[in-house]
Copies of this chain bind each other. A is one copy, B any other.
Amino acid sequence: MSGPLEFEILAKSNSTSARVGSVKTPHGSFDTPAFMPVGTRATVKGLLPEQIHATGAQIILNNAYHLMLRPGDGLIRDLGGVHAFMQWDGPILTDSGGFQAWSLADTNQFDDDGITFRSLVDGSRIHLTPERSMEVQNNLGADIIMALDDCPPSVTSSDRLKQQRPDLASAHETQIGKDHRRRLVEAVDRTTRWLERCVKSHARPETQALFGIVQGGPDEALRRRSAEQVVAMDLPGYAIGGVAVGESTEAIAATVKLTAPLLPEDRPRYLMGVGYERDLVDAVRSGVDMFDCVLPTRNGRNGGAFTSQGRIQIRNARFREDLEVIEPGCDCTACVGGFSRAYLRHLFTAGEMLGPILLSLHNIRHFERLMVDIRAAIRDDAWSSLARAWPVLDEGLVEAPGTCGEDLADATTRSAD
């Protein structure tokens, strides 16, 4: 390999911007479009590395934020890096820690130097700069590392006011909208300045591929401005950030559709923290190659099971005597193993660990199977067969009330797990 990462496009869709590819890293290759399970604290919750492999996942994500706080990135470096630490021999991507600093800390401050927040572990004051984020990620040693970005929420306070006091909203909206746009502009330019510092301080560019992140909210002009600045850095890959921070499926799709074409065709495009099945297919059609999401594991731990027909809540009383596996025909460890919905319901009702384990295995395999089918659909340009095999891609089914428990509701699509 000439650099830390090689991206090869193997097939393209005729009717969309989708492509099938392969990304080669120092720890092996992965097929794209790729779905990465989230292993926040150097473990995909409850699963052994061999079980993760068995789901078909070829690359996983770790969170730099959590690992820098505990057990510490210096310790992981001294122990041989995060691959050796968690005994995962495939590719790993680490995020920068910026999103967690923003979403998890009660009191945090963004300024041009970086982000200041309190540690969730011991309350100590942490200052995360682009340089420190690179140091952390260099210490962890993942194959793909992310630039520290400034990621403002997409939902403005005027949206909330519109719902609560529509009479006041209009006048207020103009000002809030201006404030929000100012914040988005600030985020775009700061993200670029931080990226420059990341590139400069990245100590292992020959073995770790640094991806830049495009910001700009839902605004086309801002996205264009951000993409131009970020792409100018000539990096091995690019991510679409500032998405899945509270907006609808339609808003996500719109932002992705306008942003993906702004990124160079010959580099992998990574949509951070997205999402449901339909979100993935929409993004793939816009030319996105990589995804990560906590949905399969977080929902799995709460009894939420993904099927091609839609989501089910395994705790539901209707599964009490159901001898069927989660999804007949599924080739995951839980379904092939013959564990009935009745048994899984019992495990969740009794608070037994094996329930979350089996549902996590099933749910990750669900997303990995979807990616296999998506790659086939791209090669054959067979989008209607994909839709037939995965009725959940029909929006009506995804949102059907009663198909998923309330536990699913608070599972944000982007976060650590």
In angstroms, Cα B41 to Cα A357, docked, is 16
Interface contact A46-B339, CB-CB below 8 Å: no
Interface size of A as a range: 35 or more
> Which residues 76-126 in A have Cβ within 8 Å of B in the complex?
78-80, 85-87
A186 to chain B minimum Cβ distance, whole angstroms, is: 34
Report the copy number of this chain in the oligomer: 2
Does A412 make an interface contact (CB < 8 A)?
Answer: no
B46 and A46 contacting across the interface, CB-CB below 8 Å: yes
Q: Report which residue of A71, A78, A333 has the largest number of chain B beta carbons within 10 angstroms of its beta carbon.
A: A71
- The segment from A29-37, A191-199, A224-232, A346-354 that touches chain B is A346-354
When the two chains form their complex, are residues B350 and A41 in contact, meaning their CB atoms are under 8 A apart?
A: yes
Contact partners of A333 in chain B: CB under 8 A: 48
- Tell me, rounded to whole Å, the shortest Cβ–Cβ distance linking A40 to chain B: 9
- In contact, A353 and B349 (Cβ under 8 angstroms): no
Q: Determine if A75 is an interface residue (Cβ-Cβ < 8 Å).
A: yes
A35 to chain B, nearest CB (A): 21
A345-399 CB contacts (< 8 Å) to partner B = 345-347, 349-350, 352-354, 356-358
CB-CB < 8 A to A50: which residues of B? 337
Residues of B within 8 A of A187 (CB): none
CB contacts under 8 Å to B, within A312-368, are 320-321, 323, 333, 337-340, 342-343, 345-347, 349-350, 352-354, 356-358
Q: Are B354 and A320 in contact (CB under 8 A)?
A: no
